[in-house]
Amino acid sequence: MNEKKNILEVYYEPSFSGITRHVGQIVEHLKGNPGLSFHILCSTNDERIPEYYKKLGVPVETVSGAKYFSFKGMWKAFRIVKKRKISHVHIHNLQSIFWANSSRIILPGVKFYFTPHIINFENQLVDSLFYFIWRYFSVFTDKVIALSGIQKIYLVAKGIKSEEDIPVIPNSITPIDETILTEKYKEENPLDISSPSIVSVIRLVRQKQPFKIIDIAREICRHFPDATFYIVGDGPLYEKLQRRILEEGLERRVIVTGFRRDALRILHCADIVLSTSKWEGLPYTLLEAMYLGKPIIASDIDGHRPLIKNGQIGYLATSSEDYIQKISHLLENRELRKEMGGAGRKYFDRYFSFDLFLNNIRDLYKI
């Protein structure tokens, strides 16, 4: 237990988002342990990511963002492991496994862990090819970490690892400082949230289906003219989304805020939290919504099912009509929204608390 542990966290992320947050929470809260040090290697072009780790006081190196393979990343991973005498390499996400895992072949004494986060592809051909290759690379991985029991069942069925080599460690969030929920950031334009409000905190990419939110909003606002949808986030679809809102005449009913440092405050003001994602791992926004006691309506996908007890802390939806019906039902029932939100917070405290998350990571790293 007193053995020196040097841990390298490796991943690909094109823009600061969930995986940086996941890794950041681990290193921020464990780096003070005696005999433990962390190092970061990230494939990215987003300068905010290395700056984030520098503020945490954690050594970080980056290579140019490469979605599936990086020779430079492979070389840097090997060099860091040798130079820093790394004992554990923890790889995060499918995009980085092939180049980050390669050094295991010539460094057999190093422990390699892998958290894939998202385990499905939209394209079935890519999915089949990826799992075919992954089964080979799994030989060089000591543990594969699933975010949920659903993921574990899927990975075992795919022959990635045996049950005992796939621990389940769900995502979590650090306890929220209540003061930031009411304060407005001075350096930003204040955003007043009107009620009833439906809030989505997302990156504006195809995976999140932001245009489906517009379709839902159009129908909801016909029956609830005071309802307002807030889409908090930025991304490559921002301009196209704004044009679509103007075409639909919804500019007063659908507000796309862009990036906001006070996204948690906006989430805190929500009457309903909405997610229309095509796929997810175990999304932080919904964990935040549960912590804040907000009812959730989300797409019926593997990444949402472990979080949403359907009909108890929110609803899972399968079509635009389903979303519209369930949002309408909650807008008409204030007490039900409160009841579901309270049940969500209790569910979070029991199964997704940050203390539980950290204890699971400590067990994984044996510290």
Rounded CA separation 254/257 (Å): 10
Confirm if 86 and 4 have CB atoms less than 8 A apart.
Answer: no
Mark whether 250 and 338 lie in a shared domain.
Answer: yes
Give the pLDDT score at 8. Answer: 96
**Per residue in 2-30, pLDDT tens?**
577 999 999 999 888 889 999 999 999 99
Picking from 172-186, 209-223, 242-256, which range would have the lowest pLDDT averaged per residue? 172-186
Compute the average pLDDT of residues 279-304: 96
User: Residue 250 is encoded by which pair of tokens?
Assistant: 């919804």
Domain extent for 156: 5-172+353-365
269 and 321 co-located in one domain: yes
Beta strand pairing call for 228-232 and 197-201:
parallel
* Percent of the chain's residues with pLDDT above 70: 97
Residue 201 maps to which CATH number? 3.40.50.2000
Neighbouring residues of 304: CB distance < 8 A, sequence distance ≥ 6: 275, 277, 280, 283, 286, 298, 316
Q: Within this chain, do residues 109 and 213 fall inside the same structural domain, yes or no?
A: no
Let me know whether 115 and 147 are in one domain. yes
Q: Are residues 93 and 33 in the same domain?
A: yes
| Structure confidence at residue 1 (pLDDT) | 47
Same domain, 264 and 168: no
For 238, residues 6+ apart whose C-beta sits below 8 A from its C-beta are: 204, 256, 258
> Are residues 304 and 323 part of one domain?
yes
In the predicted model, is pLDDT for residue 120 greater than 90? no
pTM assigned to the model: 0.91
Q: What is the total count of domains within the chain?
A: 2
Count other C-beta atoms under 10 Å from residue 230's C-beta: 24
**Which residue type is seen at 37?**
S
